[in-house]
Structure 1
Amino acid sequence: MTSVATEKENVHPIRGQLPTEIETEDRFTRMLDELRQDREEQARKWDEQKREDDRKWAEQARKWEEQKQEDRQKREEQARKWEEQKREDRQKWEEQSRKWDEQKREDDRKWDEQKQEDDRKWAEQARKWEEQKQEDRQKREEQARKWEEQKREDRQKWEEQSRKWDEQKREDDRKWDEQKQEDDRKWAEQARKWEEQKQEDRQKREEQARKWEEQKREDKQKWEESNRRFDEMLEKIMTQATKHERSIGALGSRWGLQSERAFRDALAAILEGSFGVQVINVNEFDDKGEVFGRPDQVEIDVIIKNGLMILCELKSSVSKPDMHLFERKARFYEKRRGRKADRLMVISPMIDDRAREMGEKLGIEMYSDSVDVPV
């Protein structure tokens, strides 16, 4: 029961919102009236449009009729003008035909006159051509006669020229034979001279070969002598080395000085013996102390060859201070002699790296062996 009552309560609000039957009929009636009014308005507009279209169509038909009448009048006017133009053209054509006939008769008359004149001129030209032909024939005959005379004259000249050519050929052959004989004689003389020259050259070559053999023998003797001197020098060096070995224990504290002197003497001997130079050991007193900073003896080796002065330091080992000392010795010697040395040279098998750098800066040549020296 409770649920049924609740449903009824819920239905009443919805029913209050729906329109009534009268309201629905009034609304439908209004809609029908509006539709009828729209149809009537549309019909009225359609009638007005139709009347307007009929009016426009009638107006257009009237204009078309007027245009047709106007076109008909224009065509009639054009036809009239064409007829007038045709009549005028016919008159002009007849007039032109008359003029053409007159012109044709005039042209025929002129043509006949021109033909008569041309016939007369042609006859005159034919007469002149005939006269010209006869004149040309006479000229050709005259020319042929002259050609025959010229041919006979040319034949005579040719025969004369041939005779002269034959004489010239015989003369040339004679001269050629004489020239050939002279050339043969000269050739024989030249061959004789060549043979003599060959014999002389052979003798010179033999003499030269003999001199070369003598020179070779002499060089061989010099070489043997040089080898002998080298062997003697080597023997002396070995003897000196043996002497040093024997005295090494006794020399003691003087070992450094004596071995350095022996090394210098050995290198100097090799330079003098092998390269033919002169090694001079110079020992001068430095009274101003320019070399050592105090007065002392200055010893330096000087190599003399072909006028060149080479200052040389021969040592068993060279350090950086030794390189500086040699440079001061060289400047002292140059100042004392008043002449600049051509080359500064250090020969030592042991040159310290710092000494080598210093020598390169000072422009000093450095060699590890005397045989490497380009003197």
Structure 2
Amino acid sequence: MTNSADIKALIREQLPSILAEDSSIRDFILRTVSDYYSPKQETDQKFEEFKERVDRILDQLERDREEQARKWDENTHKWDENTRKWDRILDQLERDREEQARKWDENNRRLDNFIHEQNQKWNQQYQQNQETLEEIKKMNRQYDSTIGALGSRWGLFSEASFRNALAGILKDSFGVEVVNINDYDPDGIVFGRPDQVEIDVIIKNGLVIVCEIKSSMSKSDIYTFGRKVEFYQQKYQRSVNRKIVISPMIAPNALPVAESLGIEVYSYADSVSI
């Protein structure tokens, strides 16, 4: 008994030759399979439609490609143009930087030269000022020496003038004896060594006043005056009733010493009564 597999194998083997030889069989088969396959005309039409669609898509893709290529070329052109612009800008910036660096170096050189010149001028001026200052100091020393000498002479002359004027007034107007004693102190009572001692003594009706008239009196001058009074009392064996110092300038630390020694001090507008 023949099975379906054998039949199928026989059909595959004999069908091509049968279709080629027998047109009725060929028509039968075409009618039988027409329900499963589209006719050739319809297939060709669909193929043509598909091909047209594909062509349109390809055309659109080509136009898109060309448009993209155009835009790419434009962008590339713009990019190149911008690149050239930036290159020009960067080149200009580099030239500006180099110019600024050159100017900065030039200004630094000028500043260094200016500072160097100013330092030289300053050193020269400083040297001149030092020389001028030394000249001024020298002149000051000479001036101080001159003023000091004049001051000493003025003080001595003033003391002598005041002493002579006071002696003349007291003698002529009040009948007072004024004695200027210039005696030798062999024991060094006054100065701690033998020396001449000058003392002004005022005597009236047995009253003895020892007076010291000087342009200025220091603390040591007060002590020296006190020792002059002691020398006078020992030398002449006479008691001194009053001890008077007359001076326009009395050192502040000399006043307590004068008070402790019983010395009367008269300065500025102070008055002396006899």
Which TM-score tier does this pair reach, normalised by the shorter chain?
0.3 to 0.5
Q: Which has the higher contact order (CA 8 A, sep 6+)?
A: 2
Larger radius of gyration: 1
Relative to its length, the structure with more strand (as a share) is 2
